[in-house]
Structure 1
């Protein structure tokens, strides 16, 4: 593999923005890829994948390169050199890479690989909390799995197609997929590709949605004709899945505190042909109170640490702080107490997170059941999905019934 100067420089520029300015990796990469119209798909995927790779292994690479944040430009080139050595890529004969100590890099890597927080490249506090809550063995396996690049999984939109028809259509557009045995609507891409350019995407035949995330709407046990409230709908991945499961019959009210996300949801719903979705922005407590006691099903896809989705958001390892965890746990409980009141008697509530920490999951449900609002509910079932066991995102979901 021969490295091209403009691609390496673009990667280093992107890393400077992500590490030193605290910008989100996906946004920085998106902007970087627009820099040169002459770049082909190979060039673009080199920049994206190499940037993500170095972000994922930031702590390990910085330790080996003996550099500290904020990183100077030469520090980032040293980290890039570490990436080359560990990936078996020939280091270019450029001034930036003069005197790269290849043997020393390999030696340091062997030495640091014996210590989990360096080997898996995580902050001390995250390593400690993961081990404390999941146990040493489970956490070791889990953080290892979360450091792998996430596969691209899509959900066939049953309002318009079947997984079989979709696989055929994508194959005609040069994109090969495999069926996932235990996930009825899912297809996994055999190779990464820009699927948003396909006619199948523009026609609303699928949504990109991880296999574990596809479990959540199923867990809600919806039927056509029901009234369903998705309380933290965001841009609507699960809302659209619910619309398909309800065959466009009944009503889905999608709520969120961010109006811009709901705008995106409307756009996606139109493309998907989901006609039973209504969006409402939570701009005051009145919005929630009006819905008390009216829904057959309520989904709380709660804000969380996102520790279960580190494989697709590796920069979250460096953005997350321990005090955020305390704050988010309080928010989760407040949301549970308030939004659970939307469920009518005999109706069901699903609480879900994309975290693997019991303190955001099982423990929150147990706390809720002891509160005034929670006393009316009983826990029907719960499911923890670990990335190390499923090969997909880490998730948690609990189904509760209002008695």
Structure 2
């Protein structure tokens, strides 16, 4: 691989914004890729993937390079040099990369790779928490699996097409996929490509959605004609899936505290051909109270630590703090306590997170069931999804029924 100066400098700029300015990696990549309109897909891919790679392995590379935050520009180049050496990429004769100790880098890598928190590149507290919560064997597998680059998975919009028809349509546009039989509507890209410019996407034939995430809406056991509430809808990936499962029949209410996210959902819903959905901003408690005892089905896709989706958000390893985890657990229980009142007798509710921690998952469900608000509910089943077992994002979901 021949390194191009303008592309490497773009990576360094991106790392500075992510590590020193604490900006979100996905937003930074969007910003940096606008630097030069002449960059082709290979150039853009190099910038994005190299940046994410160095972010993913930040702790390991920092230890090897012997640098510290805040990172100066020379320090960022040292991190980049470590990335090159460990991938066998020949270093160019640039001033910024002079005197790179290649043998020392390889030696330090061999030495540090024997220690999990360095090998898998996690902060001390997070590595200790993972082992405490999941046990050494599972956490060792999971911490490694969460470092693998996430594959691109599509969910067929069955309101507009079938999986086989979508697969052929994408193939006609030069995008090859494989079917995932165990996931009813899922297709996996064989090679990373920008699917958002395809006619199939513009026609609303699919959404990008991880395979594990595609299991949540079916877990709610919805049927056409029901009143279904998605109370933490966000931008609405699972809402749109629910609409498909309901065959556009009945009433689907998407709720969130952020109006901006619901506006994006409306745009996605139009493209998907969804017309049984309405949005409601949770501006105050009255919005929820109006639905007390009226929902056949309720989805609570609660805000969480996001530990199960580190594969696609590697910078979250460095942004997440123990204090946030404690705060978000309070939010999760509050959502369960207040929003569960929307479920009608005999109705069902799913509590879901994209976390792998029992304290955010089954322990929250048990706390709810032991409370006054939860005494009218019974536990039906739950499912833990681990990246090391399923190969996709880590998720949790629990199905409860009101008596």
| Aligned counterpart, 1:20 | 20
**Separation in 1 of the partners of 2:241 and 2:24?**
27
Trace 1:1-400 onto structure 2 (pairs within 5 A): 1-400=1-400
Q: Which runs of 5+ in 1 are unaligned?
A: none
**Alpha-carbon distance in structure 1 between the residues aligned to 2:128 and 2:224:** 45
The alignment's TM-score, normalised by the length of structure 2, stands at 1.00
SS at match of 2:154: strand
Taking the aligned partners of 1:301 and 1:118, their CA distance within structure 2 comes to: 32
| Partner-residue secondary structure (3-state), 1:378 | strand
In 1, distance between residues paired with 2:380 and 2:241? Answer: 22
Separation in 1, partners of 2:188, 2:251: 30
SS at match of 2:268: helix
Q: Distance in 2 between matches of 1:48 and 1:161?
A: 32
Q: Secondary structure at the match of 2:396?
A: strand
Q: Provide the rounded CA distance (Å) in 2 between the counterparts of 1:196 and 1:390.
A: 26
Deviation string 1:203-262 (CA, Å, 9 cap, x unpaired) is 000000000000000000000000000000000000000000000000110000010000
CA separation in 1, counterparts of 2:182 and 2:82?
Answer: 40
Matched length: 403
Give how far 1:290 is off. 0.7
**Partner Cα distance (1:76, 1:265) in 2:** 38
Residues 353-376 of structure 1 show CA distances to partners (whole Å, capped at 9, x for unaligned) of 000000000110000000001000
Cα-to-partner distance string for 1:311-332 (whole Å, 9 max, x where unaligned): 0000000000001011111110
d(CA) in 1 for partners of 2:271 and 2:101?
53
Distance 1:201 1:143 in 2: 33
Query: Partners of 1:386 and 1:346 in 2: how far apart?
Result: 31
Give SS of 1:338's match: helix
What is the rounded CA distance, in whole Å, between the counterparts of 2:282 and 2:184 in structure 1?
A: 33
CA distance in structure 1 between the aligned counterparts of 2:59 and 2:354, rounded to whole angstroms = 24
Distance in structure 2 (CA, Å) of the matches to 1:87 and 1:401? 52
| 3-state SS, counterpart of residue 81 of structure 2 | helix
What's the secondary structure of 1:106's corresponding residue?
A: helix
Aligned-pair CA distance for 1:181: 1.4
Task: Tell me, in whole angstroms, the C-alpha distance in 2 between the residues paired with 1:117 and 1:92.
Answer: 31
SS at match of 1:247: coil
Q: 1-side partners of 2:165 and 2:31: how far apart?
A: 34
SS at match of 2:298: strand
Secondary structure of 1:336 counterpart:
helix
Task: Report the RMSD for the aligned CA atoms in angstroms.
Answer: 0.4
Q: Could you tell me how far 1:63 is from its partner in structure 2?
A: 0.6
Distance in 2 of aligned mates of 1:57 and 1:279: 40
Q: Distance in 1 between matches of 2:189 and 2:251?
A: 32
1: CA distance, partners of 2:262 / 2:166: 27
**Cα distance in 2, alignment partners of residues 14 and 331 from structure 1:** 32
Deviation at residue 115 of structure 1 after TM alignment: 0.6
Q: 2: CA distance between counterparts of 1:191 and 1:400?
A: 39
CA distance in 2, matches of 1:149, 1:138: 19
